[in-house]
Amino acid sequence: MKNLPETIGNTASPDGANHCLCVDIGGFAVKYGVMTENGDLLLRSEFKSDNRTLDTFIESLYLTLSPLIAHYRIQGLAVSVCGPVEQASGVVEGASALHFLHGPPLRALLTARFGLECEIENDACCAALAEMWQGAALESSDCCLVVLGTGVGGAVVKRGELERGSHRFAGEFGLMIAKFEQGAPVIMSDIASTRGLVESAERVLGRAKGTLSGTEVFALAAEDPRVAAVIEQWYRYVAMLLLNIQHALDPEMIVIGGGVSARPELVGRLQQAVAKMVASHASFTVIPHITVCCAGNDANLIGALAFFLQQRRSLVY
Domain count, the chain: 2
Residue 6: inside a domain, yes or no? no
- 213 and 145 inside one domain: yes
- How sure is the predictor about 17, in pLDDT bands with cuts at 50, 70 and 90? low
- 26 and 163 inside one domain: no
pTM for the predicted model, two decimal places: 0.83
Residue 148: inside a domain, yes or no? yes
- 175 and 278 inside one domain: yes
Which of 232, 312, 247 minimizes the C-alpha distance to 286? 247
- 116 and 188 inside one domain: no
Residue 65: inside a domain, yes or no? yes
Of 8-17, 53-62, 77-86, give the lowest mean pLDDT range: 8-17
Residue 149: inside a domain, yes or no? yes
Strand residues in the chain grouped as ranges (E): 19-25, 29-36, 41-48, 74-81, 85-86, 91-92, 117-122, 143-148, 152-158, 161-162, 177-181, 184-187, 253-257, 290-292
Q: Residue 202 contacts by C-beta under 8 Å, 6 or more apart in sequence? A: 208, 209, 210, 211, 212
- Supply the pLDDT for residue 314: 64
- 52 and 171 inside one domain: no
CA angle 45, 7, 132 (to 5 degrees): 70
Q: Residue 279 contacts by C-beta under 8 Å, 6 or more apart in sequence? A: none
Name the average pLDDT for the chain. Answer: 90
- 209 and 233 inside one domain: yes
Residue 312: inside a domain, yes or no? no
How does pLDDT run across 146-155, given as a tens digit for each residue?
A: 999 888 989 9
Residue 130: inside a domain, yes or no? no
The percentage of the chain sitting over the pLDDT mark of 70, rounded to a whole number, equals 93
Asked if the model's pLDDT at residue 101 lies above 80, the reply is yes
Asked if the model's pLDDT at residue 51 lies above 90, the reply is no
- 107 and 231 inside one domain: no
Cβ contact 127:258 at 8 Å? no
Q: What is the CATH classification number for the domain harbouring 74?
A: 3.30.420.40
- 62 and 157 inside one domain: no
Domain that holds residue 52: 19-121+297-303
Asked if the model's pLDDT at residue 201 lies above 60, the reply is yes
Asked if the model's pLDDT at residue 165 lies above 50, the reply is yes
- 228 and 144 inside one domain: yes
Residue 2: inside a domain, yes or no? no
Residue 317: inside a domain, yes or no? no
